Amino acid sequence: MKDSSFRIEPLGNRHRGLFCCGVKVLDRYFHRQVSQDIRRRLTACYVAICGDSDRICAYYTLSACHIPLPDLPADITRKLPAYPTIPAVRIGRLAVDQDFRGQGLGSALLVDAARRVIESDIAAFALIVDAKDEGAVAFYEHHGFSRLNVVAGAQTLFIALKGITARLESK
Ligand SMILES: CC(C)(COP(=O)(O)OP(=O)(O)OC[C@H]1O[C@@H](n2cnc3c(N)ncnc32)[C@H](O)[C@@H]1OP(=O)(O)O)[C@@H](O)C(=O)NCCC(=O)NCCS
């Protein structure tokens, strides 16, 4: 982040305050649903806390998933064993509060997600994301993600994790 006065940590019992990214479905999920999903072990959620305040300025979620091998491009599958599916981790949701946009927080969350997965004892080949619209697709493509080979119009993107943190940090 260009202004380094923030930290990223698990959501825990922290009060979610007035967090607002302006995308209803992402705001509603954060305020009403995410804690239940965490309790049920359906997702993990990490938040960026800005400055010395307790204000949440961004969040993202991570869950286990898999990619059907044929959904990956041929130049990648050529180097992989012919398993039916490949292990991955999904960034289900990622959002930055409107008051904190354009300061590098979105990039910082992606780097944090990649680090957590790479440092985990459980292997995953790639991060995947479900972009909510073409604007979000552009954000992820800017950070090196590529579309999976799925049906036309689908907005699921992936990035292989090998060597990824240096690449994301250079953004
Ligand atoms: C998309 C979003 C996460 C970006 O967060 P942000 O903190 O404003 O972005 P950053 O400041 O980290 O931007 C980092 C880089 O991405 C680029 N970028 C940001 N949004 C972009 C977009 N929509 N398309 C292409 N590039 C984008 C920036 O220009 C910047 O590039 P640079 O580092 O080369 O200068 C934020 O706008 C948001 O929360 N939007 C609403 C929710 C959403 O769309 N979530 C996406 C997942 S569904």
**Strand pairing class (6-10; 156-160):** unpaired
DSSP code at position 33: I
pTM: 0.93
Q: What is the pLDDT of residues 67-114, one digit of tens each?
A: 999 999 999 999 999 999 999 999 999 999 999 999 999 999 999 999
Q: What is the pLDDT of residues 29-54, one digit of tens each?
A: 999 999 999 999 999 999 999 887 78
* Residue of 167 and 128 predicted with greater confidence: 128
* For the chain, domain boundaries: 6-169
In the sheet with 85-96, reading across from the earlier edge strand, the strands are 6-10, 44-50, 56-68, 85-96, 126-130, 156-160, 146-147
**Amino acid present at 5:** S
pLDDT band, residue 2 (cuts 50/70/90): very low
What was the pLDDT predicted at 15?
Answer: 82
Nearest by Cα to 45 from 109, 100, 127: 109
> Hey, what CATH class is 6-169 in?
alpha beta
Separation between Cα atoms, residue 102 and residue 150, nearest integer Å: 31
In this structure, what are the phi and psi dihedrals at residue 9, rounded to the nearest 5 degrees? -150, 165
What was the pLDDT predicted at 128?
Answer: 96
Distance 60 CA to ligand 1 centre (A): 13
Pocket test residue of 142, 156, 168, 169 for ligand 1, highest count of atoms within 8 A of CB = 142
pLDDT band, residue 151 (cuts 50/70/90): low
